[in-house]
Amino acid sequence: MKINYGLISADSHAAFERNDFTRRMSASKWGDRIPQVVEVEEKGCRVDRWSVYGVAADNSVCNCPAVMGEPFPTYPKRWDEVPRTAYEPRERLKALDTDGVDAEVLFPNPPGGTFFEFRDAEFELAVVRAYNDTLSEWARASDRYLPVAILPYLSDPQTIAREIERAEAGGHRGVNVLGQMPKSLPHLTDPYWYPVWGVCQELGVPIHFHGSAGLRAGASVRKWDGYTPRQAHSASTATSAVTPAQIIPQLIFSGVTERFPRLKCVFAEAGIGGLNYVLAACDHEWECRHLWTEGIATRPSEAIRRQMYVNFWFEAEGIKLRHDIGIDNIMWESDFPHVASYYPRSWKEVERVLKGVPREDRRKLLYENALRVYRIEATVPEKND
């Protein structure tokens, strides 16, 4: 990869073409259970929706307001309204160039990143493989795409580990993980999952907790019938700041970070302030409870700076704490093409947030940390050096 702009997004979202799953899954075996775009009626209008397992979703056919134009935010109601920039890899490169972004880590978009809800392990595995194969095609289209694989949770851990190996061989640079595992499955930190963390450590692929990471804590507080749709979205997503503070203590105090000291964990779309809090809180608990006597030999702040990473895109105040958090543990994200994206003026916001930050720190935050976390070989022109 060549660094032309000096900016890598550690959190963007790949959209899917309507036939990505139908052309990869057996129609004779799965029929209308295959994820596909269908027409439904909504409030007296005909609209398109993704259907999975024969059930039509109630959200937009593509989450791509950043490329829909004015009025903002607008979401497509019919498939033919979806810009090719959202789902066609080569067209999307034009958007990256317009925004001055060198590369992007790709997280899920409709029809989604989990398929365990239907309690059909064989179906889930088939869909996950189709999903991961689609994103492998993005990686082959350009080394500027860094896809993150999804997991077949209902399969046994050894099968999950093999899927991670297959996805990594296909160009995936990480794995997206839930902070709250599906009902009936063991807790995130249970030894049941050790084969999964082991293969991620061995391959050097980070595990990712995106947004709320599926945590339902406080869900009733976030949901209120009196919110407008825009208010509801804001009231829900703004709470993702607490995600690292809910998950990191589990990984540390269960001994997962002791057992897997090279396992990298990225918290995407959750901001950076939460990491500063959890550093202090975990050290406080470790000291007060003498947890080194219970097998947690490493001071939590040391484990966090060794293994945990967070992303920023608007937190100017958080950037002031960058050295307390760890200058090597922070990456920039765009959230393209979602509503929080600043596309096509990302650099304007970067300059606002990083005002007064020295060049050496800027390089780390904007692309050098990402190059290291995702094991990217890159050439850097002198202007970005």
Residue 217's pLDDT is 57
Is the model's pLDDT at 129 over the cut of 60?
A: yes
Residue 360's pLDDT is 97
Count of other CB atoms within 10 angstroms of residue 146: 26
Residues in Cβ contact with 114 at an 8 Å cutoff, skipping those fewer than 6 apart: 150, 153, 178, 182, 214
Count of other CB atoms within 10 angstroms of residue 289: 12
Which tens digits make up the pLDDT trace of 155-172? Answer: 999 999 999 999 999 999
Is the model's pLDDT at 113 over the cut of 80?
A: yes
| Distance, CA of 73 to CA of 175 (rounded, Å) | 29
Residue 216's pLDDT is 67
As given in the structure block, the two tokens for residue 377 are: 């070989």
Give the burial string for 12-47 (b: 16+ CB within 10 Å, else e).
bbbbbbbebbeebbeeeebeebbbbbbeeeeeeeeb
As given in the structure block, the two tokens for residue 237 are: 């997503």
Strand order, beta sheet including 55-56:
36-42, 45-52, 55-56
Give the mean pLDDT of 295-305.
96
Is the model's pLDDT at 365 over the cut of 70?
A: yes
Which tens digits make up the pLDDT trace of 196-240? Answer: 999 999 999 999 999 989 886 556 666 788 888 778 777 777 767
Give the mean pLDDT of 170-193.
96
In degrees, rounded to 5, the angle at the alpha carbon of residue 144 between the alpha carbons of residues 70 and 208 is 85
Lowest mean pLDDT among 37-46, 346-355, 375-384: 375-384
Percent share of the chain, pLDDT over 70? 97
Using 50, 70 and 90 to split pLDDT, how confident is the model at 283? very high
Helix (H, G, I), strand (E, B) or coil at 198: helix
Domains and CATH numbers, the chain: 8-31+81-384 (3.20.20.140), 32-80 (no CATH)
Torsion sign across C-alpha atoms 101, 102, 105, 109: positive
Report phi then psi at 276, rounded to 5. Answer: -60, -40
Residue 225's pLDDT is 80
Give the mean pLDDT of 78-91.
97
Residues in Cβ contact with 11 at an 8 Å cutoff, skipping those fewer than 6 apart: 105, 107, 210, 268, 269, 311, 333, 334, 335
DSSP letter at 81 equals G
Count of other CB atoms within 10 angstroms of residue 170: 16
Closest to 330 in 3D by CA, of 355, 365, 303 = 365
- Average pLDDT for the chain: 94
Give the burial string for 210-228 (b: 16+ CB within 10 Å, else e).
bbbbbbeeeeeebeeeeee
Closest to 295 in 3D by CA, of 258, 265, 250, 247 = 258
